[in-house]
Chain A
Amino acid sequence: EVQLVESGGGLVQPGGSLRLSCAASGFTVSSNYMSWVRQAPGKGLEWVSVIYSGGSTYYADSVKGRFTISRDNSKNTLYLQMNSLRAEDTAVYYCARFSSGPYYYYYYMDVWGKGTTVTVSS
């Protein structure tokens, strides 16, 4: 069964750091584009970051320079290192697999984890 399971969320003070993990099963993380999407309390979905199958990484402007996406192929796991956290980073963070195909701009997210909650507060 194809599955994504996030972990690592919690309460952190402003300016602090946190690392989220997303363990995949039923498919290979390194063969797919993988993404993090977040949802602030009572708000909509926001794309945060992507790592391509080739290893290139990209970020939303709101997190650029503070967040780092990576993966461990041996563990089939995706990560999101979050530094210099702000109150506005408070959200449920979802790990998602992108669909495949020749053109990434047609991609959609076909597998989602259940999410992990990050709260940034003093």
Chain B
Amino acid sequence: QSVLTQPPSVSGAPGQRVTISCTGSSSNIGAGYDVHWYQQLPGTAPKLLIYGNSNRPSGVPDRFSGSKSGTSASLAITGLQAEDEADYYCQSYDSSLSGPNWVFGGGTKLTVL
């Protein structure tokens, strides 16, 4: 059971817009900690997609955007392309334990129809 909750799957047709939610609590996202997103293409390692809630690393298309509000965050992908089919994970920090604790969402599988 992940600390951050994501929908198991989302889907969309090429060219469409999809969003992936990431819901936390008052000890992580709601405490003001940043949310980051990773893309994991089939059979590969995760890759940083969005950092600091809404910032894109160099090389990430502007079709990908992130936002955060309250205890939740969202990843939006516009102009869906076949190559976007992947698993997406949100990540934040959780202060409920005595030591440092970086936490992930359970992941969302994006299917491009």
Contact = CB atoms under 8 A, between A and B. Distances in A.
Given A47-B104, A59-B99, A61-B97, 6 more contacts: A44-B2, A44-B89, A45-B91, A94-B45, A105-B95, A109-B48
Interface of B: 2, 33-34, 36, 38, 44-48, 51-52, 57, 89, 91, 93, 95, 97, 99-107
B52 A44 contact: no
Q: Which 10 A-B pairs have the closest CB atoms?
A: A108-B36, A105-B93, A44-B107, A45-B104, A47-B102, A112-B45, A44-B106, A108-B51, A106-B34, A58-B99
Interface of A: 35, 37, 44-47, 50, 58-61, 94, 99, 104-110, 112-115
A104 B105 CA distance: 19
Contacts, number: 62
Nearest to A35: B102
Contact of B33 (A46, A99, A106): A106
A30 B10 CA distance: 40
